[in-house]
Structure 1
Amino acid sequence: MTKTNILIVEDEEDIRELVKYNLHRENFGVLEAGSGEEGLTMVERMTPDLVLLDLMLPGKDGLEICRILKRDERTQDIPVVMMTARGEESDIVTGLELGAEDYIVKPFSPKVLAARVKAVLRRHASAPELAPEDVLRIHDMVIHPGRHEVLVKERPVDLTATEFRILHFLARRPGWVFTRYQIVDAVHGEDYPVTERSVDVQIVGLRRKLKRAGSNIETVRGIGYRFRDK
Structure 2
Amino acid sequence: MDKSKIKILCVDDEPDILEILKYNLSNEGYDVSTAKDGQKAVEIAKGIVPNVIIMDIMMPNMDGIQACELLRSDKMFNDTLIMFLTARGEDYSHIAAYEAGADDYVQKPVKPKILVSKVKGLLRRSKKNLKKKLRKFNLVTLKSTGINIKSM
Into which bin does the TM-score normalised by the smaller protein fall?
Answer: 0.7 to 0.9
Could you tell me which of 77, 80, 105 is aligned with 1:78?
Answer: 80
**Once the two structures are superposed, what CA deviation does each residue of 1:125-159 show, in whole Å capped at 9, x if it has no partner?**
11132857xxxxxxxxxxxxxxxxxxxxxxxxxxx
Rounded Cα–Cα distance in structure 2 between residues aligned with 1:86 and 1:63: 12
Counterpart residue number, 1:129: 133
> Are residue 48 (structure 1) and residue 53 (structure 2) matched?
no
**Once the two structures are superposed, what CA deviation does each residue of 1:62-89 show, in whole Å capped at 9, x if it has no partner?**
0000101111111132110001101112
The structure carrying a bigger helix percent of its residues is 2
Percent identity over the alignment? 36
**Once the two structures are superposed, what CA deviation does each residue of 1:24-59 show, in whole Å capped at 9, x if it has no partner?**
121111101111111111111111111001111101
Counterparts in 2 of 1:58-69, with a 5 A limit?
Answer: 58-69=60-71
Rounded Cα–Cα distance in structure 1 between residues aligned with 2:40 and 2:78: 18
Rounded Cα–Cα distance in structure 2 between residues aligned with 1:107 and 1:88: 15
Greater relative contact order (CA < 8 Å, ≥ 6 in sequence): 2
Rounded Cα–Cα distance in structure 1 between residues aligned with 2:107 and 2:78: 23
Could you tell me which of 57, 81, 94 is aligned with 2:96?
Answer: 94
Q: Classify the secondary structure of the residue corresponding to 1:56.
A: coil
Rounded Cα–Cα distance in structure 1 between residues aligned with 2:26 and 2:62: 27
Counterpart residue number, 2:113: 111
TM-score, normalised relative to structure 1 = 0.55
TM-score, normalised relative to structure 2 = 0.82
**Once the two structures are superposed, what CA deviation does each residue of 1:164-221 show, in whole Å capped at 9, x if it has no partner?**
xxxxxxxxxxxxxxxxxxxxxxxxxxxxxxxxxxxxxxxxxxxxxxxxxxxxxxxxxx
Q: Give the superposition deviation at 1:60.
A: 1.0
Q: Is the 8 A contact 2:51 2:79 kept in 1?
A: no
| RMSD, aligned CA | 1.9
Structure 2: tracts of 5 or more residues without a match: 138-152
Counterpart residue number, 2:144: none
Counterpart residue number, 1:57: 59
Q: Give the superposition deviation at 1:3.
A: 3.0
Counterpart residue number, 1:12: 14
Rounded Cα–Cα distance in structure 1 between residues aligned with 2:24 and 2:67: 24
The aligned amino acid for 1:108 is V
Q: Give the superposition deviation at 1:99.
A: 1.5
Q: Classify the secondary structure of the residue corresponding to 1:74.
A: helix
